[in-house]
Amino acid sequence: MLRITALSLVALTGWAQNRQEQKISEELGAHEITLHGVLIDAGCPDRSLWNMTRPPEAQAASMAPMGPTTAGQATRDGQATQTEGISVDSKTIGLERQDVTMVMNPDLSARQMDPTCAIKANTRSYALLLRDGRLLDLDDGANTLATAAVQSSSAGREMINGRGPGFKPVVTIVGRVHGDRFFGDQLRMGK
């Protein structure tokens, strides 16, 4: 008797889930559309059209970490610069600069949010900026597709590894629109 009840419960749950999926499908409409736009970070706090259409900020040249130090000297990119003041042994200098050089690490800078909504290594959700200025947030499935596309692109790999700036790729996406949300089935970089 307990088995029959458990099987009935599983069948009823499956029916309810199918009904839920059918209802969502009806709400979204039956036809798929193809859209072209710019992929941006959906977590960006300034989602003004002016800000989202700005080019991404380039990585600062000053982000190169300080090289090994000796008493009274600091190196940047292999060139020694003479400092003035008290001479301190290299171990102490290294310990004191540890916090500063960690912030200047290119890998860490790749994980800082870009103020222009460019995709960076810390991006977890994406939005599609259309030519007419409309912004569509991507659903979980489309976010997964976008993450895979970013990670498979050369610019994405450079950015994730801290060797490139954030970027705003042009993408083509196929799916359905419901309100300001896009339910994507396919996504590819470029037009």
pLDDT tens readout for residues 146-169: 999 999 999 999 988 888 889 999
Question: Is there a single domain that holds both residue 130 and residue 176?
Answer: yes
Quick check: 93 and 69 in contact, CB under 8 A? yes
For the chain, percent of residues with pLDDT exceeding 70? 62
Whether residues 143 and 172 share a domain: the answer is yes
- Tokens found for residue 51: 């800000």
pLDDT in tens, 41-51: 999 999 999 99
The answer on 179 and 137 residing in a single domain is: yes
Mark whether 117 and 87 lie in a shared domain.
Answer: no
Among the residues of 29-153, which ranges form H helices? 49-53, 90-103, 106-110, 140-152
Q: Identify whether residues 92 and 156 lie together within a single domain.
A: no
Residue 85 and residue 153 share a domain: no
Amino acid at 77: D
Its domain, for residue 95, covers 65-103
Domain shared by 36 and 76, yes or no? no
Q: Which residue has the tokens 């994405």?
A: 156
State the pLDDT at residue 60: 45
71-81 in b/e burial notation, b at 16+ Cβ within 10 A? Answer: ebebeeeeeee
Question: 37 with 128, same domain?
Answer: yes
Same structural domain for residues 134 and 169?
yes
- Same domain for 139 and 181, yes or no, is yes
Assign 20 a pLDDT band (cuts: 50, 70, 90): low
Report CA 182 to chain centroid distance, whole Å.
17
Q: Is 10 contained in some domain?
A: yes
Q: 119 and 182, same structural domain?
A: yes
Q: pLDDT tens digits for 50-104?
A: 999 999 887 543 344 444 444 444 454 444 445 567 777 777 777 776 666 555 5
41 strand-pairing partners:
126
Strands 73-76 and 79-82, bridge-based pairing: antiparallel
C-beta of residue 88 within 8 angstroms of C-beta of residue 71? yes
- For residue 110, what pLDDT is reported? 64
Would 108 be classed as within a structural domain? no
